[in-house]
Amino acid sequence: MTKLEKALAQAESDSENALKAAREAVSTLNKVHGAAKVGKLKDLARYLRDAERGIEGLREKLVTTQQRWNFDIESYLSDGSFVSEIVETAKGQGLKVYELDGQVYCYPSLMRVAANDQILFIDRQRDTHLRPSVVVNHLRELQNRPVRFRPEPFLKALKEAYDYWVARKRAGRRAAPTLAPLAEIYSLLTPLPGQAREYSKQEFARDLYLLDETVAGAPAGFRLHPATGREPLGKVFPVVTKDGERKRYYAISFTKDE
């Protein structure tokens, strides 16, 4: 299958040829305009003929551009080919980019493709620039910036959701469990319709990893528990680390007060 980068490069080249023909046609029309303005009758007819040929040449270049751009972009975005090309392009440029479940991980950014809308979401920001080389350059720029993740608000939100979960489990019991499944914590953080789309499970997993990297341990009794392999897949939050390793988070606990 033709790569999107190659197809866009062809369209860029073809449109440049059309632009050149357009500039030549405009230049000839300016001559027509000038001749008519001062009454250079002898030259006017010749300029008109030249302008007609120039416009016909432009039309041919435009038709060529249109005919060559027959890329099935919808299928390419939806079947995983686009993500594969992003990973391949990044690898060729020495940038560490990984794919997991259709998402692109480029520490500390997470990118997903909205195929139906033909747009990207990079860290929840809409991006309509889909040329693979441009996407990779943008991911590199984001990686070179200071990490904007703020662990304190996220840790606070986790603690509040955890305390609510414990209180609910404690109702009618003498003791409550301390190990809270992250799937239930995520549900508490995204209770309203549409919130799970605004803050996806992949983003939640990425933020857990960034928090794990930031705190480098268990402050105030905080601990992230990895999956053992026996948990249902829907209850596990996988993520790709900056070194390409895969982590799988399952539960969270706070064993003492902050």
Q: Which two tokens stand for residue 227?
A: 């999956």
On whether the CB atoms of residues 47 and 35 are closer than 8 A, the answer is yes
Q: 140-160: per-residue pLDDT in tens?
A: 999 999 888 888 899 999 999
Is pLDDT above 80 for 219?
Answer: no
- Judge if 126 and 180 occupy the same domain: no
How many domains does the chain contain in total? 3
146: cis peptide before it, omega within 30°?
no
What pTM does this model have? Answer: 0.86
Q: Does 49 share its domain with 139?
A: no
Which pLDDT score is estimated for 202?
93
94, 114, 144 — which closes off a domain?
Answer: 144
The verdict on 163 and 139 lying in the same domain is no
Residues 188, 224 within the same domain: yes
Mean pLDDT, to the nearest integer, of 57-61? 97
Helix, strand, coil percentages for the chain (3-state, nearest 5): 55, 15, 30
Report the mean per-residue pLDDT for the chain: 91
Q: Which residues pair with 109 in a beta bridge?
A: 106
Q: Are 189 and 204 in contact (CB under 8 A)?
A: yes
Q: How far apart are CA 29 and CA 204, in angstroms?
A: 59
Domain boundary among 46, 71, 96: 71
- Both 56 and 81 in one domain: the answer is no
